[in-house]
């Protein structure tokens, strides 16, 4: 039997629709026929959103009397979706696009936003029926009703904030009382479908006017589906039962993007890219191409760039696609926001310019501190940003150079990291080798000395240190002076360790390990007893949580002018700390004589409000960053 060959489309505004023949015989091959039509004149059709899958075993179907091989997951969808006694019109990318024809593929992918938006309905095919699928869909339907009732109550009360996590109300508890473990197994098996990892589904669902989630024989309106998920994600006692909360977050993100798109809350490609960090695609270029249709006014913002930089073009390399997308984002937003979230050391795409994010790998996101607008570095000078091939040109100031850098700080070892930093700062005053006799006394002497020493901005060095370690931000606001008591509790914890008394860091009640020898030592040690009280109150954890959110995965550094800060993993002695026009925070750059390499963002304490007085009038430098 001949293999199916697509007939060429007559013009760029044409698409193909597939007509799925009725189920006449369970054993006969699925019958398909392709029909060409102008998109705007197309008959009523449904569009399929599904996962291509990686199955090696293709299944044969008949398309216009010729054999066409399709992936097993698509074959299962066709079998389930074909009607018993009538034909069904659909648009399915693997069938309706000639995948071997690159120019056609480019053109058709560009039209996919309109194809899904104009479809009578988008069918979200999760896969064949799973164990307990019926039970899971029934539970989600119930949760959706509870969510709707909760939202009505919240909005009637005038609460316009995003929904917060809460415990279920008395009425909600009565509806949840019968939920058993098998239900949660079925729910999270459903959520674990790899369908939800796909990049393309974000656009396919976001632009649709009507969508239905299908798992085997089970069906549910998409709105009710994500309402049910929203109820779980904002109900603390339910979320704690989830073995993998990340999948719930992915589904919530899709719903969030759909809301952003419908309400026209943003037209920035970077906003959508930030939402899809956890998504996956077999072709890394689709991390960008799969989101282009969500932009509404691209041509109005940068008409020349929209045409030349952000075309769907599968002849471009991954490097070219990412570079052009990054350049477009920087120019359209006139800032360097996309350069923050990913240090150079985490990139895997080869030959990617240092200023370009690698969207093929998951970006952990900028620390919370860098999302706060109380930093005023951006106000210092305009960037006058331009591009030439792989080079970005931007105006900036060289603030300082790094003369000491720690290894990458870890969320697992915050106390040893802090101790090493304090010892380093003390070495600058020749205090590291002070011997005061009893355990911990030398460290306490270092702390006292740093508390009396003056930093560049007239704070004590100790205050500058604790503010640096949390980016001078606590609970998403500028850190208040009283937050020092939480840092003091951290120092007390280190002092106890110096005296041989160790807390169990995984014990949420902060109780001392019940080692008889340690308890006896504490009983006989009045100094440790006094120190212990603030530690047992749990105040240290508040500081450590802020610290981990801010500097985990980064390096602490000091500079030749006496400043302290932290920067992206990979920053080292000799690197320069610079302000770049359009940047919210300073950057660490590496000078290669003929060009600069961007290592990543940084925090420089005493320079985050635009203070440059003690530097005189720094010379504006035109940086070439490659």
Task: Give the pLDDT confidence of 438-493 residue by residue, as tens digits.
Answer: 545 677 778 887 888 889 888 999 999 999 999 998 877 888 898 888 888 888 88
Which position has the token pair 């072709």? 283
Q: 64-74, pLDDT tens digit by residue?
A: 999 999 999 99
Q: Give the Cβ contact number of residue 180 at 10 Å.
A: 8
Which position has the token pair 């939402």? 275
So what's the pLDDT on residue 278?
Answer: 72
Q: Give the Cβ contact number of residue 481 at 10 Å.
A: 9
CB 470 within 8 A of CB 546: yes
pLDDT band at 162 (very low <50, low <70, confident <90, very high): low
Could you give the CA distance from residue 567 to residue 547 in angstroms, rounded to a whole number? 13
| Residue 443: strand, helix, or coil | helix
Whether the CA torsion 271, 277, 281, 287 is positive or negative: it is positive
Could you give the CA distance from residue 407 to residue 417 in angstroms, rounded to a whole number? 9
Q: 532-575, pLDDT tens digit by residue?
A: 555 544 578 888 888 888 888 899 999 999 999 999 888 999 99
Angle between helices 484-498 and 414-427 (to 10 degrees): 90
So what's the pLDDT on residue 159?
Answer: 62
So what's the pLDDT on residue 513?
Answer: 43
Q: Check whether 506 has a pLDDT greater than 80.
A: no
So what's the pLDDT on residue 509?
Answer: 36
Whether the CA torsion 573, 576, 579, 581 is positive or negative: it is negative
Q: 229-256, pLDDT tens digit by residue?
A: 888 887 766 666 665 667 787 888 888 8
| Residue 558: strand, helix, or coil | strand
| Residue 266: strand, helix, or coil | coil
- For residue 442, give Cα distances in angstroms to 435, 438, 463, 492, 534: 6, 8, 19, 13, 20
Which residues, listed in sequence order, are joined to residue 396 by a DSSP beta bridge? 580, 621
Which residues, listed in sequence order, are joined to residue 576 by a DSSP beta bridge? 401, 589
CB 271 within 8 A of CB 260: yes
Q: What is the DSSP letter of 41?
A: G
pLDDT band at 529 (very low <50, low <70, confident <90, very high): very low
CB 357 within 8 A of CB 323: no
Which residues, listed in sequence order, are joined to residue 600 by a DSSP beta bridge? 588
Which secondary structure element, helix H or strand E, spans residue 150, and what is its range?
helix 133-156
Q: Check whether 495 has a pLDDT greater than 70.
A: yes
So what's the pLDDT on residue 475?
Answer: 76
Q: Check whether 603 has a pLDDT greater than 70.
A: yes
Could you give the CA distance from residue 462 to residue 431 in angstroms, rounded to a whole number? 15
So what's the pLDDT on residue 402?
Answer: 97
Highest mean pLDDT: which range of 424-433, 464-473, 509-518:
464-473
SS (H, E, C) 486-515: HHHHHHHHHHHHHCCCCECCCCCCCCECCC
Query: Which tokens go with 399?
Result: 């603030």
Which secondary structure element, helix H or strand E, spans residue 203, and what is its range?
helix 200-206
- For residue 526, give Cα distances in angstroms to 181, 499, 515, 626: 50, 12, 18, 59
Sheet containing strand 66-71, strands side by side: 66-71, 58-63, 31-38, 14-20, 88-91, 46-49, 121-127, 211-215, 218-221
Query: Which tokens go with 248?
Result: 């719930």
Could you give the CA distance from residue 325 to residue 323 in angstroms, rounded to a whole number? 5
Please tell me the least confidently modeled range out of 82-91, 175-184, 246-255, 500-509. Answer: 500-509
Which of 581, 601, 608, 583 lies closest to 354, judged by CA?
A: 601
Which position has the token pair 């509870």? 146
Could you give the CA distance from residue 526 to residue 541 in angstroms, rounded to a whole number? 24
Which of 125, 171, 127, 128 lies closest to 147, judged by CA?
A: 171
So what's the pLDDT on residue 512?
Answer: 43
| Residue 423: strand, helix, or coil | helix
Which position has the token pair 């920067």? 567
Which residues, listed in sequence order, are joined to residue 270 by a DSSP beta bridge? none
Query: Which tokens go with 607?
Result: 């320079």
So what's the pLDDT on residue 126?
Answer: 94
Q: What is the DSSP letter of 268?
A: -
Q: For the chain, what is the radius of gyration of the CA atoms?
A: 29
Of all residues in the chain, the percent with pLDDT exceeding 70 is 76
**β-pairing verdict for 620-625 and 211-215:** unpaired
Could you give the CA distance from residue 316 to residue 285 in angstroms, rounded to a whole number? 9
Query: Which tokens go with 556?
Result: 């602490």
Q: Check whether 417 has a pLDDT greater than 80.
A: yes
Query: Which tokens go with 492?
Result: 């007390």
| Residue 552: strand, helix, or coil | coil
Higher per-residue confidence, 220 vs 364: 220
Which secondary structure element, helix H or strand E, spans residue 322, and what is its range?
helix 318-333
Q: 288-330, pLDDT tens digit by residue?
A: 999 888 876 554 455 555 456 778 899 999 999 999 999 988 9
Could you give the CA distance from residue 457 to residue 564 in angstroms, rounded to a whole number? 11
Highest mean pLDDT: which range of 87-101, 183-197, 354-368:
87-101
CB-based burial label for 278 (10 Å; 0-12, 13-18, 19+): middle
């Amino acid at each position: 039997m001949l293999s199916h060959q697509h007939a060429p489309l007559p013009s760029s505004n044409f698409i193909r629709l597939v007509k799925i023949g009725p189920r006449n015989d369970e054993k006969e091959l699925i019958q398909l026929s392709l029909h060409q039509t102008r998109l705007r004149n197309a008959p009523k059709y449904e569009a399929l959103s599904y996962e291509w899958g990686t199955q090696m075993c293709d299944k044969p179907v008949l398309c216009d009397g010729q054999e066409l091989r399709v992936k097993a997951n698509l074959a299962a969808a066709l079998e389930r979706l074909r009607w018993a006694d009538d034909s069904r019109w659909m648009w399915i990318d693997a069938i309706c696009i000639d995948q071997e024809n690159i120019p056609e593929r480019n053109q058709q992918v560009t039209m996919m936003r309109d194809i899904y938006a104009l479809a009578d309905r988008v069918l979200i095919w999760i896969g064949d029926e799973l164990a307990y699928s019926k039970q899971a869909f029934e539970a989600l339907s119930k949760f959706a009703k509870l969510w709707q009732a909760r939202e009505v109550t919240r909005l009637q009360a005038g609460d316009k904030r995003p929904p917060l996590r809460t415990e279920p109300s008395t009425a909600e508890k009565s509806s949840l009382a019968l939920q058993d473990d098998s239900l949660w197994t079925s729910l999270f098996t459903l959520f674990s479908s790899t369908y939800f990892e796909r990049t393309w589904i974000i656009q396919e669902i976001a632009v649709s006017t009507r969508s239905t989630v299908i798992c085997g024989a089970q069906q549910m309106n998409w709105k009710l589906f994500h309402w049910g998920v929203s109820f779980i994600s904002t109900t603390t006692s339910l979320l704690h039962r989830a073995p993998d909360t990340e999948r719930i977050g992915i589904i919530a993100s899709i719903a969030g993007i759909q809301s952003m798109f419908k309400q026209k809350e943003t037209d920035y490609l970077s906003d959508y890219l930030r939402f899809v960090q956890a998504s996956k695609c077999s072709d890394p270029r689709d991390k960008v191409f799969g989101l282009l249709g969500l932009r509404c006014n691209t041509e109005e913002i940068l008409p020349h760039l929209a045409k030349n930089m952000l075309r769907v073009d599968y002849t471009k390399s991954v490097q070219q696609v990412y570079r052009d997308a990054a350049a477009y984002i920087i120019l359209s937003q006139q800032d360097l926001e996309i350069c923050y979230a990913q240090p150079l050391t985490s990139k895997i795409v080869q030959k990617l310019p240092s200023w370009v994010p690698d969207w093929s790998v998951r970006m952990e996101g900028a620390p919370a501190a860098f999302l706060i607008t109380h930093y005023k570095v951006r106000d210092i000078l305009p960037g006058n940003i331009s591009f030439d091939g792989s080079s970005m040109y931007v105006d900036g100031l060289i603030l300082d150079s790094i003369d000491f850098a720690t290894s990458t700080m870890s969320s697992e070892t915050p106390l040893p990291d802090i101790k090493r930093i304090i010892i380093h700062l003390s070495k600058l005053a020749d205090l590291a080798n002070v011997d005061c006799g009893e355990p911990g006394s030398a460290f306490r002497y270092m702390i006292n000395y740093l508390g009396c020493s003056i930093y560049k901005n007239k704070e004590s060095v100790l205050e500058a240190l604790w503010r640096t370690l949390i980016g001078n931000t606590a609970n998403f606001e500028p850190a208040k002076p009283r937050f020092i008591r939480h840092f003091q509790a951290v120092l007390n914890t280190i002092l106890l360790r110096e005296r041989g008394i160790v807390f169990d860091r995984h014990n949420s009640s902060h109780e001392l390990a019940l080692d008889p020898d340690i308890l006896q030592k504490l009983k006989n040690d009045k100094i440790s007893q006094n120190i212990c009280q603030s530690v047992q109150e749990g105040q240290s954890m508040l500081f450590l949580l802020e610290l981990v959110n801010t500097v985990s995965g980064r390096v602490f550094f000091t500079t030749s002018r006496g400043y302290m800060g932290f920067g992206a993993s990979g920053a080292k002695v000799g690197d320069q700390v610079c302000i770049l026009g359009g940047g919210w925070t300073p950057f660490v750059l590496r000078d290669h004589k003929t060009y600069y390499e961007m290592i990543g963002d940084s925090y420089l304490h005493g320079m985050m409000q635009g203070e440059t007085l003690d530097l005189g009038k720094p010379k504006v430098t035109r940086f070439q960053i490659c």
